[in-house]
Amino acid sequence: MQAWTDEDLGTEFEQRLDGLLVEFCPDWRHPELPEPYSSNQRFVAYHRRNANRRHLGDLLTAQPEVAAAVASRVLAAIVCDEDVAANKELIYPMLAAIGRRRVQRYLIAVIETGPEHKKVGAVRAWYWSQVSLVYESVEDLRARRPTATSRAADDEMADLRGLYRIACLTAFVTCPHAATREWLARGTILKDAYYPANLRDLVAQARAIAEEDPRRYKDLLAREVDGTNMAQLGFEDP
């Protein structure tokens, strides 16, 4: 992870997990690895964090009232989570316990005012915080015809997507680190129509940065539309 940050997010993430686990299930012990895996300290740490994350996620899922009570602490852990796939194990219980809007407002606030390395964690978490557009068939998916219910749910989040775009755009322009910018670019669109008029100079600055490194930012330069990146077939999001 040192490609985009000089900070030790892994240690903070584990400390935050440990604090919650000690409080709510003090008898929990993660499974020990057998040899030869137990001799690899990096693998042991990876396995330990995965086990702790999964156990806490299961607890929060089963007890949404607990998840709501410790929401700020769990959200603070989420933006320290470097695993872009497994981080959903904490994100999904929080969506269920406190709602999508509160989760997304927290992520936006981190991108606006948090340290650079946690901005990346927030962008990574944003992916799983989005509404899933539901398609009743493969044909509907190919034609981009989601169900009316899922489309309406996505439309309800348009205001927060706008704030997220602005936060990512601002952080993209002000961040001095190219690899971090690459993550922030995922929340940015280089189209004036998606921003207030007073931010057009910022959009121009972002475009200039992207055009200086078109291979790195090819997706950003090609992006035309706003909307969720999540899709599923056959059933509505709970």
Q: Over the stretch 148-162, which tens digit does the pLDDT of each residue have?
A: 999 999 999 999 999
Q: What is the pLDDT of residues 108-138, one digit of tens each?
A: 999 999 998 899 999 999 999 999 999 999 9
Reported as a pLDDT band with limits 50, 70 and 90, residue 42 is confident
Of the candidates 23, 89, 80, which has an alpha carbon nearest to the alpha carbon of residue 50? 89
Query: Alpha-carbon distance 76 to 81, whole Å?
Result: 9
- What pLDDT, in 10s, does the model give residues 200-225? 999 999 999 999 999 999 999 999 88
Condensed to tens digits (0 to 9), the pLDDT of residues 159-187 reads 999 999 999 999 999 998 888 899 999 99
Write the DSSP symbol of residue 133. E
* CA terminus-to-terminus distance, the chain: 33
